[in-house]
Structure 1
């Protein structure tokens, strides 16, 4: 028996088949892309996708041995689950492949402007593995803006899932409009989907609209996307035109500590370094939704001192159509509701 396999015993006392080890998480990265008016870009996944089918997701994807090559840390390396050059380059590459928005800078430090025909031809060649992304950008006189990415949590897929990922999330802020309110500093191309390969739409909208659409069942958001948008909504609100001020608040939020109540070790971890692996806690009585904890970092990072958010939990109803009735709530409040339900149930049995 492999050292990583464990055997169990059935109710009849007979040894059952060894439990296979969990799948090794694949390295991936995604970007929460803010428009010049602080809207967020989401992509609508195709129905046939093997991951997040029909859901709305942030642009991103797996690291590529062809494009990121030797930059990718091996599975046994501690750098596998840490922000680094490979994750940053892959996030920018995938965003370009999936939306057509190129997060690269020219020699003056401004976003590189590319003609539409050149852009679309490059997307196809890069996606097909006919040219390396970094080489293509260099050929246009630009460099991927890896320093413009702000780490905003990492997510490790739970072990009960057939496909697992260690996904580095980033935040990227496209340039604001110029002060005169008319001329823009750069021309930000309208996002477009990838021709139906993986996505059928690429759209900027306000965070509040995305969250409302998910609550009303008009779109599908999975817990990580819903949670991150909910957290960001505390600083970026519709109807408030101080886009620069909102961004400054977000920057302070990502780096500050503590992030929670005193005595909680995860409160000493800034948001840019938090690692979350959703864990089923219990079903909320009378509600029908699963309560998911997001404070643990996953088995690969057990005893590493890393962790996520112990103050919040995510409530979700997993249906055949996808996650429904998502909500981010205080862990303390949900635990109180559970205690009250148990007390009522105990009284009913007397």
Structure 2
């Protein structure tokens, strides 16, 4: 068991996006395989996401939940080439044809930190579709870890004609997969998950369709989760708040730590 540092490392604000679509056998979620050389969750199957940046806060007008939503939109564009944005003043999410032109000019520069998302939206007369980013979960890395994140999870319907694909840098592979299938493949040793990803896949797997998942998430109360390791008669277990609605409060440790 790692010893808790005398002064816990501050948790960095971050956003994660569960991009979902309706598949032939039920709801599917887009996931990427983190590059194995990355320190945090290297080689793991995860949802796209990353840290909140100052430009995200600027677009949101402050530090509230919308800054995390915009960070999720930016990270989804960087990591999978999906842009959850619409023409300024209204209308639907941009289509694949419009996206291709935007991606060719801006995606690499956004990913490298050379161009902020605000500049892309201004140049293309777009606005972020934050209304489609439904709050799904809130997880904070345990105090004992040397790298910590304060992560807001969002559920978003994938635009039907935009094609999601991994970036080849932070992630080395990607897949549309049913939540239950991802868990089963991890249990069989075919994939690596981390504890928050497993729990959120299980929660998503309760729903048969995107519409059902979005409606349930809009109606649910998000409870902050910071897992803690406890000693039980059966051995070490992870505990989380029961009211967070993950089907329990004490769980067997099935997955390796993220770091």
The TM-score range, normalised by the shorter chain, is 0.7 to 0.9
Over 3 Å counting, the alpha-carbon distance change for 1:72 and 1:275 in structure 2 is farther
Specify the alignment match of 2:77 in structure 1: 96
- 1:316 Cα offset (Å): 1.6
- 1:85 Cα offset (Å): 1.9
Specify the alignment match of 2:143 in structure 1: 159
1:49-198 equivalences under 5 Å are 49-69=38-58, 84-106=65-87, 109-113=91-95, 114-116=98-100, 118-175=102-159, 186-189=160-163, 191-195=164-168, 197-198=169-170
Over 3 Å counting, the alpha-carbon distance change for 1:140 and 1:278 in structure 2 is same
For 1:137 and 1:202, the matched residues in 2 are separated by 26
Specify the alignment match of 1:33 in structure 2: 19
Whether the 8 Å CA contact 1:153–1:170 is kept in 2: the answer is yes
Whether the 8 Å CA contact 2:140–2:225 is kept in 1: the answer is yes
For 1:120 and 1:26, the matched residues in 2 are separated by 30
Q: Which has the larger radius of gyration?
A: 1
Specify the alignment match of 1:308 in structure 2: 244
Whether the 8 Å CA contact 1:293–1:310 is kept in 2: the answer is no
Specify the alignment match of 2:229 in structure 1: 280
For 2:67 and 2:182, the matched residues in 1 are separated by 29
Return the structure number with greater strand share.
2
Whether the 8 Å CA contact 2:46–2:193 is kept in 1: the answer is yes
Matched, 1:220 2:192: yes
SS at the partner of 2:253? strand
Q: Could you list the structure 1 runs, at least 4 aligned residues long, displaced by more than 6 angstroms after superposition.
A: none
Q: TM-score, normalized by length of structure 1?
A: 0.64
Question: Which structure ranks higher in relative contact order (CA pairs < 8 Å, sequence separation ≥ 6)?
Answer: 2
- 1:69 Cα offset (Å): 4.3
After the TM superposition, which of the residue ranges 273-282 and 105-114 deviates more from structure 2? 105-114
SS at the partner of 1:68? helix
Q: TM-score, normalized by length of structure 2?
A: 0.85
**Can you give the 5+ residue segments of structure 2 that lack an aligned partner in the other structure?**
none
Q: Deviations over 1:298-326 (max 9, x none)?
A: xxxxxxxxx7348513322455xx68xxx
For 2:170 and 2:35, the matched residues in 1 are separated by 6
RMSD in angstroms over aligned alpha carbons? 2.6
Matched, 1:46 2:27: no
Whether the 8 Å CA contact 1:28–1:62 is kept in 2: the answer is yes
